Structure formats: structure tokens, C-alpha cells
């Protein structure tokens, strides 16, 4: 079946480029301080993650951009998988909200070491690399948990997929822990642990689906041993 993803509308592009600003705006509104330096560092990083990726897909891979614009109740995505995606989204909203409340407005976390903020910045750079490279290396990097039979999905084993089977999720892990470190939020780190558990559950469910439904994935799994973190898991 041919994809219609080349018909990206102006409204969809405006949504894709405008929606990421919701998160920095939320960060500053809840922090109550528009001069929060760490907040600006994170916000600039976040837009630098979202905008280049969207623009790249618009010019280089509109099929994938259309795939990533699809709603949760799409095609052959399993219901339990959709619930998990919603759960991650809800936890992400809580995470975005608690970090500015903790680090700036109420200052539940105090005396956060600068060395940890620097470590967080390094993790965010790693997240930027793995997430963007996932888009460039894998035209099937959907936000949904489904095998894209309509797009003739096949196993991708090149680029960052030579190191881990789910490089975008590795980027997400770096995002989950780099962000509260940069912002100086201990409570953000607690929510990051919840996000990590949900991401692991998503990974396990997605792997089962790929093994059952995607030709060649079993062989790829034997070749690349680690799911998310090299030498660990």
C-alpha cells in the first residue's frame, strides 16, 4: 500500500514546530522565574532536539514524519501498547511539572552540585545524538508500537543500531536523567526512575512484537545483544 505521507499540511508542520514550545513555557511558568539560567539551557537544548529533527524529516523523510504524526489509535497498534504509551506521556507531564517546582519555585532540592549539572549537560548531548541519529538511520522509527506493514517495514541494523537495538530509547534514558541533573531537581530524578520502568516495559513489549511479526528481527537480536545500554542490558 503506498504511503500518503508526502502530503504534510501547513497545519501539521505548524503543530510539529510549535508544540515543543509548550514544555519550555510550562517549565518557566511553574518555576516563576524567566531568568532561570538552567531553565534556559534546558529549553534551548529541547528546541534544538525537536526542530532540527522535524525539519530534517520534512525535507528528507516525509514518510517517517507522517508516521510520527499518527494518533495513538492507529492501524495495528495493540491496545495494551497504546495504554503504555499514554502512561509514559502522563508520567512525562508530571516529570516536566515537578522539576521547576522542585528546583526553582519551592526549592525542595537545595545545594545541588554544579558537577552534577555538568554531568547532566553531557547526558543531554548524548540524548541529542542518539535521538537524531535514530531518525537519520531508521525510516521506521515510529512513535507507536506497531509493525508498519503498510510501509513494508524491515530490520535496520546500521548506524546506531549496530550498538543497541533501541537507540532512541537509549536517548530517552539520557534525556530522563540528564534533564533533572541540569535543572538541579532531586524529585525529578525520582520521576525519572518511574519513566525508566515504563520505558523498559515498552521495550520488552515492543521486542516481543518484533520477534513475532517482523521478519529478520530474531537474527538481528542475536547479532546485537543489548537492548538499551551497551554492556549492561
Question: For the residues of 55-115, what is the DSSP string, one character each?
Answer: HHHHHH-HHHHHHHTS-SS-TT--HHHHHHHHHHHHHHHHHHHHHHIIIIIS--S-S--HH
Which one, of 180, 191, 45, 189, lies nearest residue 117 by Cα?
A: 180
- Answer with the residue of higher pLDDT: 4 or 44: 44
Contact in structure between 147 and 138 (CB atoms under 8 Å): no
| Mean pLDDT in residue range 111-118 | 96
Q: How many CB atoms lie within 10 A of CB 110?
A: 8
Contact in structure between 199 and 173 (CB atoms under 8 Å): yes
Tell me, what's the pLDDT at 97?
A: 97
| Mean pLDDT in residue range 215-225 | 95
- Answer with the residue of higher pLDDT: 99 or 142: 99
**Domains in the chain and their CATH numbers?**
10-223 (1.20.120.1630)
pLDDT digits (tens, 9 = 90+) for 32-65: 999 999 999 999 999 999 999 999 999 999 999 9
Q: Angle at the Cα of 224 (from 206 to 177), degrees rounded to 5?
A: 65
pLDDT digits (tens, 9 = 90+) for 60-114: 999 999 999 887 666 566 667 778 888 999 999 999 999 999 999 999 999 999 9
Tell me, what's the pLDDT at 78?
A: 66
| Mean pLDDT in residue range 144-163 | 92
Measured between alpha carbons, how far is residue 73 from residues 7, 50, 83, 143, 220 in Å? 20, 23, 10, 12, 28
pLDDT at 126 over 70: yes
pLDDT at 6 over 80: no
Tell me, what's the pLDDT at 77?
A: 66
Tell me, what's the pLDDT at 4?
A: 44
Tell me, what's the pLDDT at 76?
A: 65
pLDDT at 2 over 50: no
- Distance CA(220)–CA(201), nearest Å, equals 20
- Distance CA(61)–CA(139), nearest Å, equals 7
Amino acid at each position: 500500500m503506498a504511503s500518503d505521507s508526502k502530503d504534510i499540511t501547513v497545519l501539521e508542520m505548524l503543530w510539529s514546530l510549535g508544540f515543543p514550545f509548550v514544555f519550555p513555557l510550562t517549565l518557566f511558568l511553574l518555576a516563576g522565574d524567566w531568568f532561570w539560567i538552567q531553565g534556559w539551557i534546558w529549553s534551548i537544548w529541547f528546541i534544538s532536539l525537536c526542530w532540527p529533527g522535524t525539519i530534517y524529516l520534512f525535507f528528507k523523510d516525509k514518510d517517517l514524519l507522517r508516521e510520527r504524526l499518527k494518533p495513538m489509535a492507529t492501524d495495528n497498534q495493540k491496545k495494551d501498547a497504546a495504554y503504555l504509551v499514554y502512561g509514559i506521556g502522563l508520567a512525562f507531564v508530571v516529570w516536566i511539572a515537578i522539576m521547576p517546582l522542585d528546583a526553582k519555585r519551592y526549592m525542595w532540592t537545595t545545594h545541588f552540585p554544579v558537577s552534577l549539572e555538568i554531568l547532566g549537560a553531557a547526558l543531554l548531548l548524548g540524548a541529542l545524538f542518539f535521538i537524531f541519529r535514530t531518525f537519520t538511520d531508521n525510516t521506521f522509527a515510529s512513535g507507536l508500537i506497531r509493525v508498519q506493514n503498510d510501509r513494508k517495514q524491515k530490520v535496520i541494523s546500521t548506524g546506531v543500531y549496530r550498538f543497541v537495538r533501541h537507540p532512541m530509547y537509549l536517548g530517552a534514558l539520557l534525556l530522563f536523567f540528564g534533564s533533572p541533573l541540569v535543572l538541579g531537581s532531586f524529585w525529578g530524578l525520582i520521576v525519572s526512575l518511574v519513566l525508566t520502568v515504563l520505558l523498559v516495559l515498552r521495550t520488552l513489549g515492543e521486542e516481543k512484537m518484533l520477534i513475532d511479526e517482523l521478519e529478520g528481527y530474531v537474527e538481528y537480536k542475536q547479532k546485537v545483544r543489548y537492548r538499551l545500554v551497551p554492556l549492561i542490558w
